[in-house]
Amino acid sequence: MERNVKELVAKMTLEEKAGMCSGQDFWHLKGVERLGIPGVMVSDGPHGLRKQDDKADHLGINESIRAVCFPPAVLSACSFDRELLEEMGVAIGKEAQATDLSVILGPAVNIKRSPLCGRNFEYYSEDPYLAGEAAAAFINGVQSQHVGTSLKHFAANNQEYNRMNCSSEVDERTMREIYLPAFETAVKKSQPYTVMCSYNRLNGTFASEHPWLLTEVLRDEWGFKGYVMSDWGAVNDRVEALKAGLELEMPASGGINDQEIVRAVTDGTLDEAILNRSVERILSSVFRYLDNRQEETLNLNDDHELARHIAEESIVLLKNEDSILPLSAEESVAFIGGFAKTPRFQGGGSSHINSFRVDSALDMAAAAGYTVSYAQGYPANDDVYEEDAVAEAIRTAAAADKAVIFAGLPDSFESEGYDRSHMHLPDCQNRLIDEILRVQPNTIVVLHNGSPVEMPWRGKVKGIVEAYLGGQAVGGAVVNILYGKVNPSGKLAETLPIKLSDNPAHLNFGDGAEVHYQEGIFVGYRYYDAKEMEVAFPFGHGLSYTEFRYSNLRTDKSVLTDTDTLTVSVDVTNTGNRTGKEAVQFYVADRTGTCRRPKKELKGFKKVALEPGETKTVSVTFEPRSFSWYNTDLHDWFIGSGTYEILAGSSSRDIRQSLTLQMNSAQKLPLKLHMNTTFGELLSDPRTREYGLFLKKKMDDFFGDGSEANESESSDEAVSDAMSEAIAASIPLRNVVSFGLCTKEEVAEVLEKLSQNS
Ligand code: BGC
Whether pLDDT at 263 is above 90: yes
What pLDDT is recorded for position 54? Answer: 62
Question: pLDDT category, 421, cuts 50, 70, 90?
Answer: very high
User: What separation in Å is there between the alpha carbon of 23 and the centre of ligand 1?
Assistant: 14
As a whole number, mean pLDDT of residues 243-269 equals 97
Whether pLDDT at 318 is above 90: yes
Mutate which of 119, 231, 418, 419 for ligand 1? The one with the most ligand atoms within 8 Å of its CB, which is: 231
Q: Which residues have a Cβ under 8 Å from the Cβ of 684 and sit 6 or more positions away?
A: none
- Tell me phi and psi for residue 29, to 5 degrees: -90, 160
Does ligand 1 lie within 6 Å of residue 231's CB atom?
Answer: yes
Does ligand 1 lie within 6 Å of residue 103's CB atom?
Answer: no
Reported as type and span, the H/E element at residue 355 is strand 354-355
Per-residue pLDDT tens digits for 586-641: 999 999 999 999 999 999 999 999 999 999 999 999 999 999 999 999 999 999 99
DSSP 576: S
Question: pLDDT category, 495, cuts 50, 70, 90?
Answer: very high
| Residue nearest atom 12 in ligand 1 by C-alpha distance | 58
Does ligand 1 lie within 6 Å of residue 122's CB atom?
Answer: no
Lowest mean pLDDT of 15-19, 118-122, 693-697, name the range.
693-697
Question: pLDDT category, 512, cuts 50, 70, 90?
Answer: confident
Task: Please list the active-site residues.
Answer: 231
As a whole number, mean pLDDT of residues 271-287 equals 98
Per-residue pLDDT tens digits for 145-191: 999 999 999 999 999 999 999 999 999 999 999 999 999 999 999 99
Q: 405: which strand partners?
A: 336, 445
Per-residue pLDDT tens digits for 319-350: 999 999 999 999 999 999 999 999 999 999 99
User: What separation in Å is there between the alpha carbon of 167 and the centre of ligand 1?
Assistant: 19
Does ligand 1 lie within 6 Å of residue 44's CB atom?
Answer: yes
What pLDDT is recorded for position 62? Answer: 72
What pLDDT is recorded for position 3? Answer: 86
Q: Which residues have a Cβ under 8 Å from the Cβ of 702 and sit 6 or more positions away?
A: 739, 741
Please give the number of the atom of ligand 1 that sits closest to the Cα of 106: 10
- Residue type for 233, please? G
Whether pLDDT at 58 is above 90: no
What pLDDT is recorded for position 717? Answer: 58
As a whole number, mean pLDDT of residues 458-470 equals 98
As a whole number, mean pLDDT of residues 17-39 equals 97
- Residue type for 368, please? A
Please give the number of the atom of ligand 1 that sits closest to the Cα of 199: 8
What pLDDT is recorded for position 511? Answer: 79
Whether pLDDT at 716 is above 70: no
Does ligand 1 lie within 6 Å of residue 170's CB atom?
Answer: no
Q: Confirm if 182 and 132 have CB atoms less than 8 A apart.
A: yes
DSSP 665: -
Does ligand 1 lie within 6 Å of residue 119's CB atom?
Answer: no
Q: Which residues have a Cβ under 8 Å from the Cβ of 596 and sit 6 or more positions away?
A: none
Q: 618: which strand partners?
A: 570
Length of the chain: 758
Lowest mean pLDDT of 215-229, 261-275, 307-321, 721-735, name the range.
721-735
Please give the number of the atom of ligand 1 that sits closest to the Cα of 45: 10
DSSP 522: -
Q: 348: which strand partners?
A: 415
Whether pLDDT at 711 is above 70: no
Q: What is the mean pLDDT of the chain?
A: 95
User: What separation in Å is there between the alpha carbon of 231 and the centre of ligand 1?
Assistant: 6
* Dist. CA 695–CA 700, nearest whole Å: 9
Does ligand 1 lie within 6 Å of residue 350's CB atom?
Answer: yes
Per-residue pLDDT tens digits for 5-24: 999 999 999 999 999 999 99
What pLDDT is recorded for position 718? Answer: 56
Mutate which of 57, 110, 232 for ligand 1? The one with the most ligand atoms within 8 Å of its CB, which is: 232
- Residue type for 168, please? S
Closest CA to 230 of 454, 58, 463, 428: 58
As a whole number, mean pLDDT of residues 238-246 equals 98
Can you point out the beta strands (E) in 501-579? 514-516, 548-555, 559-561, 566-574
* Dist. CA 300–CA 307, nearest whole Å: 10
Closest CA to 12 of 43, 46, 39, 36: 36
DSSP 558: S
- Residue type for 688, please? T
Q: Decide which of 80 and 755 is more confident.
A: 80
Q: Decide which of 700 and 725 is more confident.
A: 700
Whether pLDDT at 707 is above 60: no
Per-residue pLDDT tens digits for 645-658: 999 999 999 999 99
Question: pLDDT category, 700, cuts 50, 70, 90?
Answer: confident
Question: pLDDT category, 539, cuts 50, 70, 90?
Answer: very high
Per-residue pLDDT tens digits for 350-378: 999 999 999 999 999 999 999 999 999 99
Handedness of CA 50, 54, 58, 61 (dihedral sign): negative
Mutate which of 51, 105, 165 for ligand 1? The one with the most ligand atoms within 8 Å of its CB, which is: 105
* Dist. CA 218–CA 192, nearest whole Å: 12
Does ligand 1 lie within 6 Å of residue 590's CB atom?
Answer: no
Q: 402: which strand partners?
A: 333
Percent of the chain whose predicted confidence (pLDDT) is above 90:
90
What pLDDT is recorded for position 174? Answer: 98
Per-residue pLDDT tens digits for 725-736: 788 889 999 999
**Residue 580: left if φ>0, alpha if ψ -120 to 50, beta else—which one?**
beta
What pLDDT is recorded for position 50? Answer: 92
Question: pLDDT category, 1, cuts 50, 70, 90?
Answer: low
Does ligand 1 lie within 6 Å of residue 30's CB atom?
Answer: no
| Residue nearest atom 7 in ligand 1 by C-alpha distance | 58
Percent of the chain whose predicted confidence (pLDDT) is above 70:
97
Whether pLDDT at 715 is above 60: no
Reported as type and span, the H/E element at residue 25 is none
* Dist. CA 312–CA 308, nearest whole Å: 6
Whether pLDDT at 56 is above 80: no
Helix axes 300-314, 82-98, angle to 10 degrees: 160
How wide is the angle at C-alpha 735 spanned by C-alphas 730 and 740, nearest 5°? Answer: 155
What pLDDT is recorded for position 231? Answer: 98
Q: Which residues have a Cβ under 8 Å from the Cβ of 679 and sit 6 or more positions away?
A: 692, 695, 696, 699, 728, 729, 730, 731, 733
- 44 by DSSP, 3-state: which? strand
Question: pLDDT category, 253, cuts 50, 70, 90?
Answer: confident
Q: Confirm if 515 and 583 have CB atoms less than 8 A apart.
A: no
* Dist. CA 481–CA 468, nearest whole Å: 14
Largest Cα separation within the chain, whole Å, is 98
